[in-house]
Amino acid sequence: MKDKKGIIFALDGAIAVTIVLIMLINTTYYFTTTSQESLSQTQVLKRGHDVMAMFDEFNELDNAFKAVVDGATEIEKEAPNGLNVTKYLPKGYNMTVYLKDVVKNNCVSGCTLDGSGTSVDTDSLSIGGDYYIQVNAKLLTAGDPDASFTIEFGSPPVGYAVTTPCEAGVTCTLTTLFPVADLQTGINTIDFIHDGSNDFQIYWIKLLDHPDYTLYTEEVPPSGRFIGSGERWFASFDDNGHFSGMHKAGFKVWLE
């Protein structure tokens, strides 16, 4: 009887050891498979960041940013100011690149601020909120180191000062000191108010960090597969070499 009990206990132990071994093998297999997939995804992301680093190193992000014209619907890919991802990507990869704060709304009528006001319309906004407004303008009068103008928005209108460090006759990109409050969905009209002594030429405006002011290159990310993404800050300078702000460029990268 004792011998039979011993055999039963031995069988139980063997079965338990077998089950544990099977669990360990399965765990090791799935852990290894998951690690391999994670490594592959990391490599895909690394390729995307490498491409963005190359674009930034050779000023291609800033050049593409400045080259966008009013009414553009996507970022160009072709030279001289396009973002051609195939130039830096290995075969078997593809990616789309986007630039934030890139859309421009041109001043189209009465754009010389010389005693009377002027106005510029925003894009038709999908969402409202508080946003800084950037203005591209040229100081036309000389001799005032504190030359400025004011933009107004709202009902009743609220004024937001814009000061310029630029010399007369030089075009600069300027930003409101505070975000413009309560912009509404749809088109918003931004009014420009003369300071009483200094004249300006107004060229364009844009809303900073608004989703409607972001443009993409033409590639469309596929569905149903891993897509890596990331962002990078880059410095932008106007055509006269003046610093005009830090902006974000982003990407989505995948295996073909």
Instruction: Indicate whether 134 and 225 sit together in one domain.
Output: no
Please check whether residues 95 and 70 belong to one and the same domain.
Answer: yes
Q: Could you tell me if 219 and 97 lie in one domain?
A: yes
Which single residue is written with the structure tokens 């509404």? 184
**Does residue 116 lie within any of the structural domains?**
yes
Same domain, yes or no: 171 and 110 = yes
Q: Is the pLDDT of residue 36 over 60?
A: no
Cα–Cα distance for residue pair 14/102, rounded to 1 Å: 69
Q: Are residues 113 and 160 in the same domain?
A: yes
Q: Are 48 and 230 in contact (CB under 8 A)?
A: yes
Do 114 and 49 share a structural domain? Answer: no
Which domain, by its residues, includes 174?
105-211
pTM above 0.85, yes or no: no
Overall number of domains in the chain: 2
In a domain? residue 23 = no
Cα distances (Å, whole numbers) of residue 169 to 111, 182, 201, 240:
15, 33, 10, 11
pLDDT interval class at 1 (50, 70, 90): low
Looking at the fold, whether 149 and 231 belong to one and the same domain comes out as no
Strand ranges for the chain from DSSP E: 93-99, 105-106, 112-113, 118-121, 129-131, 133-139, 148-153, 158-163, 171-175, 180-183, 189-193, 200-207, 215-216, 228-237, 243-255
β-pairing, 118-121 with 189-193?
antiparallel
Let me know if residue 168 belongs to a domain: yes
User: Angle between the 60-67 and 2-57 helix axes, to the nearest 10 degrees?
Assistant: 60
Q: Are residues 122 and 176 in the same domain?
A: yes
- Is the same domain home to 109 and 207? yes
Are 178 and 109 contained in the same domain? Answer: yes
Residues 87 and 121 occupy one common structural domain:
no
* Span 52-70, pLDDT tens digits: 999 999 999 999 999 998 8
CA 98 – CA 232 distance, rounded (Å): 11
Residue 11, domain member (yes or no): no
Helix (H, G, I), strand (E, B) or coil at 3: helix
Residue with the larger pLDDT of the pair 147 and 63: 63
How confident is the model at residue 244, as a pLDDT?
Answer: 84
pLDDT tens-place string over residues 159-173: 998 877 678 888 889
Flag whether 21 is in a domain. no
CATH of the domain at 126: 2.60.120.260
Question: pLDDT class for 147, splitting at 50, 70, 90?
Answer: confident
